[in-house]
Chains A and B, each alone.
Chain A
Amino acid sequence: LAKTTQPISMDSYEGQEVNITCSHNNIATNDYITWYQQFPSQGPRFIIQGYKTKVTNEVASLFIPADRKSSTLSLPRVSLSDTAVYYCLVVGNTGGFKTIFGAGTRLFVKA
C-alpha cells in the first residue's frame, strides 16, 4: 500500500485559496489519488479523485504532476465552513483495495 504524508494542520483566512500537498512516493501504476473531507461527528465525505494532471469539480481542484509522487488539493476562496480534516488516500488494487486513511490535515479557517 502506498503510504501518504501530509501536513498535520494548516491555518487560513476566509476568502483565501488553500493548497494542501500530499506525498505518495511509492504510488503504483493502477492507484488513484482520492481526497476526503471530515467534519466533527460525521463520516468522511468524498471531495475529488484523480489519476494524473488536473481534475476540477465544483468543490476543489486536484493537481497531480507527471511522476504522480505527490498531489495538491486546492480549495478556492475558503469559508469558515471549510474548517475540517482533509485526508489524502492512494487507492488501488495493491493490497486488495484496502482503503487506509492516514492522520489527515486539520484545516482551520479564521474570519
Chain B
Amino acid sequence: NAGVTQTPKFRILKIGQSMTLQCTQDMNHNYMYWYRQDPGMGLKLIYYSVGAGITDKGEVPNGYNVSRSTTEDFPLRLELAAPSQTSVYFCASSYSMGASMYNSPLHFGNGTRLTVT
C-alpha cells in the first residue's frame, strides 16, 4: 500500500496564479484533512472531509477550496496565490466509525513545499 500520496513535492508560483495540490489515499479512509505548516510552527488545519461529498472548514480556510468527489481523492485548490500561502502543505487521512466512536490516528503524506513569489 502506498498510504497517502501528495503531488507535487515542490512548486513555485507567482502571485495571482492558481494551482491544485493533489492528495490520494489507498487505505479506504473516510476522513481526510489538509494542513499547512509554516517554518518553525505547528500544523494548522485548512479543510477536512468526513466522506465523499462532505467538506468543512478548519482553522485557516481563507484562500483555499477543496472538493471530495471520491473516497480516495481530496484535492486542495489555491485560486489566487499570495506570498502568505508560502508553506508546506500536508494531507492526511484517518478512519472513523462515526461520532462518539473511535477515530483512528492520522496517516500523513510527505508534503508539498509551496513558494509564492
Q: Is the CB of B42 within 8 A of A102?
A: yes
Q: How many residues of B contact A (CB 8 A)?
A: 31
Q: Is the CB of B103 within 8 A of A92?
A: yes
Q: Is the CB of A43 within 8 A of B108?
A: yes
Q: Is the CB of B96 within 8 A of A44?
A: no
Q: Is the CB of B42 within 8 A of A87?
A: yes
Instruction: Give the size range of A's interface with the partner.
Output: 20 to 34
A98 to B33, CA, bound (A): 9
Pairs A-B, 9 closest by C-beta atoms:
A43-B108, A46-B105, A101-B43, A93-B99, A103-B42, A43-B90, A101-B42, A93-B100, A30-B100
Listed in ascending order, the chain A residues whose CB lies under 8 Å from chain B are: 30, 32, 34, 36, 41-46, 49, 85, 87, 91-93, 96-104
Listed in ascending order, the chain B residues whose CB lies under 8 Å from chain A are: 4, 31, 33, 35, 41-45, 48, 50, 56, 58-59, 88, 90, 92, 94, 96, 99-103, 105-111
